């Protein structure tokens, strides 16, 4: 469980391939942060390497656009050790992503002793979806992509509200 703190200066959102959930979350978070008047750097990445350089899944783009989110210009990348130094908070879309991120963080030789990013589940602060995975819609249908947007909007708002309450 993450210890509550004031708003981070940077947040990285992570899923498996960085073509469905995390790019959608990146744009939703970016818009909600702007609306809240906060100044937070937001980016996304995947734990896997097979989509590096690809645009988000066309289905994710279509469903996001239907809700006013343009993710078409985002490009998939894989998380790396530097991300743990450059971001204050890394949010995982599901428990497996979180476990993979923790293993990567544990393997970093942190000679500078500078604090590494805190890790948490994306839904951790959300009273509606708290502790739930944001299910991967890749092998699903349109309803699965809509579910991602609903969950991400809810959890992003919950994080922002928790920071504003500090």
- Is 136 among the residues known to form the active site? yes
Q: How far apart are alpha carbons 143 and 152 in whole angstroms?
A: 14
Give the span between the Cα atoms of 109 and 99, in whole angstroms.
18
Among candidate residues 20, 21, 57, 126, the one labeled active-site is 21
* 60-74 burial: b if 16+ Cβ within 10 Å, else e: bbebbeeeebebeeb
Give the integer Cα–Cα distance in Å for 30 and 2. Answer: 21
The one catalytic residue in 43, 94, 100, 136 is 136
Answer yes or no: 20 catalytic. no
Out of 15, 20, 83, 126, the active site residue is 15
Q: State the Cα–Cα distance between residues 16 and 55, nearest whole angstrom.
A: 14
- Residues annotated as part of the active site: 15, 21, 136
């Amino acid at each position: 469980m993450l210890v509550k703190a004031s708003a981070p200066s940077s947040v990285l959102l992570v899923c498996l391939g960085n073509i469905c959930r995390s790019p959608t979350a990146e744009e939703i978070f970016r818009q909600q942060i702007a609306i809240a008047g906060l100044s937070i750097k937001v980016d996304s990445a995947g734990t896997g390497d097979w989509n590096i350089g690809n645009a988000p899944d066309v289905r994710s783009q279509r469903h996001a656009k239907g809700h006013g989110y343009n993710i078409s210009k985002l490009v998939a990348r894989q998380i790396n050790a530097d991300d743990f130094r450059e971001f204050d908070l890394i949010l995982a879309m599901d428990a497996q992503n979180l476990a993979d991120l923790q293993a990567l963080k544990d393997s970093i030789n942190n000679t500078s002793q500078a604090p590494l990013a805190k890790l948490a589940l994306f839904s951790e602060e959300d009273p509606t979806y708290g502790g739930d995975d944001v299910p991967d819609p890749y092998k699903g249908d349109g309803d699965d992509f809509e579910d991602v947007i609903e969950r991400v909007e809810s959890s992003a708002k919950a994080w922002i509200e928790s920071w504003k309450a500090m």
